[in-house]
Chain A
Amino acid sequence: MSKNALIVDDSATMREMVSYTLKQAGFEPLTGKNGQEGLDQLAGAQVDLIITDLNMPVMDGLTFIKAVRAKDEYKSTPILMLTTESRADMKAQGKAAGATGWLVKPFNPEMLLQVIAKVVPKT
């Protein structure tokens, strides 16, 4: 049975590129254009991995991660922040919010898959 991954990014190209990459690793991608749409997706499906952007309209990535971590079933789900932002203070905020890792755009698909292999438990 394939695993579900939620990709939250306001850029259609980014959603497309991450989805394409995750499909190579056998994930079934779900997508949202902002944090609120991400939360809506979580309400209807069990997700094994979340990849989210930081700067988004409606609900940003940090608020989204905090909302996800507030849910009992997502306390330990890997959440990767994928963003153009590389400042140390922003990374610290991401870590405090509950992110598992921080990837600076643009991502290398092979590297992303290596990171996912490290953070997603094998079943």
Chain B
Amino acid sequence: MATGQAGDASLVAPAAADRNGPRQDDVVTPPDVRDRLNQLRDSVHSTLHHEFGTLAGDLDQLRGILSDAAAKLSEAFCHMTVGSTALLRLLDGAPDRSEANSLKDAASIARDISSRTVMTVQSLQFEDMATQLLQHVDRRLAMLEVFSKEMAVLRPDPAGRMVPLTEEALEDLFRLLERHRADLASVGRKSVQQQSMDSGVVELF
């Protein structure tokens, strides 16, 4: 899994330090706290990377379902339109056909239209699955928004300086990260596993 590069998490960003030189209010960070801060930034990056990958997968699944539904509905629409037109022509009465042949053809066209109706009813159910998938993505995005706000303390200020963090504050952030990971994992299971609009299984108890 990609973890990204957090870089050196010293509490004064190198660019700011070079530009301004060392200042009295610069905070010196013990190496072990600095290592923990780097670890935390790596973990946050890795969590976000994983979550956005999952969201991209969900949206790809949604795209597949919509694309399949659109293709099946288009096919059904074309068949039904062509069939209806042919049926109307027959009902209008073609002079060169016997009545019996016309009825036979009409019945065949009607059967074809009816079978396309089955496909239409099945494909129109895409709305339900798409809605459920989007609700799932919404829940995940809302959690990620809270997560990124709470982890905003890891961003340097406009001058490039990191907010001073005590060991205790750092440990709190690690606990927060774990809590968010657990929350994201619990919302991770989605009921929609379908990748297309093919009909689902039936089981009688």
Contacts and interface: CB of A to CB of B under 8 A. Distances in A.
A14 B203 CA distance: 19
Interface residues of B, number: 26
A84 B52 CA distance: 24
Nearest to A102: B203
B32 to A, nearest CB: 45
Interface stretch (B8-16, B23-31, B122-130, B137-145): B122-130
A54 to B, nearest CB: 7
A118 interface: yes
Contact of A86 (B123, B201, B204): B201
A100 B191 contact: no
Interface residues on A, range: 20 to 34
A101 B203 contact: yes
Contact of A54 (B118, B191, B199, B205): B191
A105 B122 CA distance: 9
Nearest to B117: A109
Contacts of B191: 54-55, 83-85
Contacts, number: 85
Nearest to B189: A87
B202 interface: yes
29 contacts: A11-B131, A13-B124, A13-B125, A13-B128, A17-B121, A17-B124, A20-B121, A55-B132, A84-B129, A84-B194, A84-B200, A86-B193, A86-B201, A95-B205, A100-B204, A101-B203, A103-B200, A104-B200, A104-B201, A105-B129, A106-B129, A107-B125, A108-B118, A108-B199, A109-B122, A111-B199, A111-B202, A115-B202, A115-B204
Interface of B: 117-118, 121-129, 131-132, 191-194, 197-205
Given A106-B123, A111-B199, A118-B204, 14 more contacts: A11-B127, A13-B128, A55-B132, A84-B191, A104-B200, A105-B125, A105-B194, A105-B200, A106-B126, A106-B197, A106-B198, A107-B199, A108-B122, A119-B204
